[in-house]
């Protein structure tokens, strides 16, 4: 399950490469979140899945942080010119921040795990080193990426502490509905979002990116993430994100012919070693 999660989660930047040229970032995310509800809500109603009475507020808050805050921050930063490699490196700080905050959810981080976290961070830095460019970089894009980092870190810890266990079907519906409520006003004000969807170009690339982001990323990967949070320590779960940039780099090399250097390969090995040190029992 952890490796399947990493494989699917790593396609996020690939989806952005296919989808962002044809729609503003918040508009794309709104269509993605609404489509998730269209798919999941009938399933929830037909299967009579139990609703988490008494925990809906906590689940909604965690969803806003993990979905709306994280995705909106990263996608808007990339749209404003933030290189994907640099955004991956900034977001790659999440496992370290989670480790520092682990005592807040009753977890401890051993010395070996700290070494693994540092190895993983260095590995990510090596993988994205040749993709980092400061051309066109703005303070707004940096702030958005940092917001995304803080949002997913706090959201993961919040969910682990207050609502680690809930029915994934109804819980996911609650989280995406809450995320829509947060993002919609910004999409209307900043991107002119409306029923006509005038800002969207319905190309095959855009439709494919939207379908994959709904079925694979927003449903498949998120279900796996929530299951991992339920079963494992937050530090162990977030350390898996160190494997995302190396995996994405391989995908970009295979699909777009992007350069994948010897240094990048060394970084991948270092990241894998780091994750192994963190999750080893």
- Position 178 scores a pLDDT of 96
Mean pLDDT for the chain? Answer: 82
Q: Taking Cα atoms as reference points, which of 129, 136, 171, 155 lies closest to residue 71?
A: 155
Compute the distance between CA of residue 267 and CA of residue 5 in angstroms, rounded to an integer: 20
pLDDT at 234: 59
Q: Is 160 helix (H, G, I), strand (E, B) or coil?
A: helix
Residue burial 180-207, b: 16+ Cβ < 10 Å; e: rest: bebbbebbeeebebeeeeebbeeeeebe
Q: Among 233, 274, 273, which Cα is nearest to 117's?
A: 274
Q: What is the pTM of this model?
A: 0.81
Residues of the chain scoring pLDDT < 50: none
CB 214, CB 36: distance < 8 Å: yes
> Which pLDDT value is given to residue 32?
94
Quickly count: other Cβ atoms within 10 Å of residue 137's Cβ: 16
Q: Indicate the DSSP class of residue 214.
A: I
Tokens 């999660």 sit at which residue? 5
pLDDT tens column, 20-52: 889 999 999 999 999 999 999 998 999 898 998
> In angstroms, rounded to a whole number, what is the distance separating the alpha carbons of residues 71 and 208?
18
Place of tokens 């002119």: 192
């Amino acid at each position: 399950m952890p490796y399947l999660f990493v494989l699917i989660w790593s396609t996020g930047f690939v989806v952005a490469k296919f989808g962002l040229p044809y729609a503003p970032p918040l508009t794309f995310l709104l269509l993605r979140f609404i489509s998730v509800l269209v798919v999941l809500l009938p399933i929830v109603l037909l299967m009579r899945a139990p609703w988490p009475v008494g925990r809906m507020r906590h689940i909604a808050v965690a969803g806003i942080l993990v979905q709306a805050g994280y995705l909106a921050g990263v996608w808007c930063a990339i749209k404003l010119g933030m290189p994907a490699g640099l955004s991956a490196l900034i977001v790659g700080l999440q496992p370290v921040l989670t480790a520092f905050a682990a005592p807040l959810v009753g977890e401890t981080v051993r010395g070996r795990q700290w070494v693994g976290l540092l190895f993983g961070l260095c590995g990510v830095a090596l993988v994205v080193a040749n993709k980092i460019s400061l051309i066109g970089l703005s303070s707004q894009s940096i702030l958005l990426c940092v917001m995304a980092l803080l949002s997913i870190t706090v959201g993961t810890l919040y969910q682990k502490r207050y609502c680690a266990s809930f029915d994934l079907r109804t819980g996911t519906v609650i989280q995406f509905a809450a995320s829509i409520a947060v993002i919609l006003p910004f999409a209307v004000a900043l991107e002119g979002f409306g029923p006509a969807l005038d800002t969207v170009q319905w190309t095959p690339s855009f439709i494919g990116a939207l379908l994959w982001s709904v079925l694979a990323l927003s449903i498949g990967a998120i279900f796996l993430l929530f299951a991992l949070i339920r079963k494992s320590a937050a530090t162990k779960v977030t350390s898996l994100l160190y494997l995302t940039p190396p995996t994405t780099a391989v995908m970009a090399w295979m699909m777009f012919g992007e350069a994948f250097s010897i240094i990048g390969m060394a970084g991948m090995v270092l990241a894998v070693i780091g994750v192994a040190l963190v999750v080893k029992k």
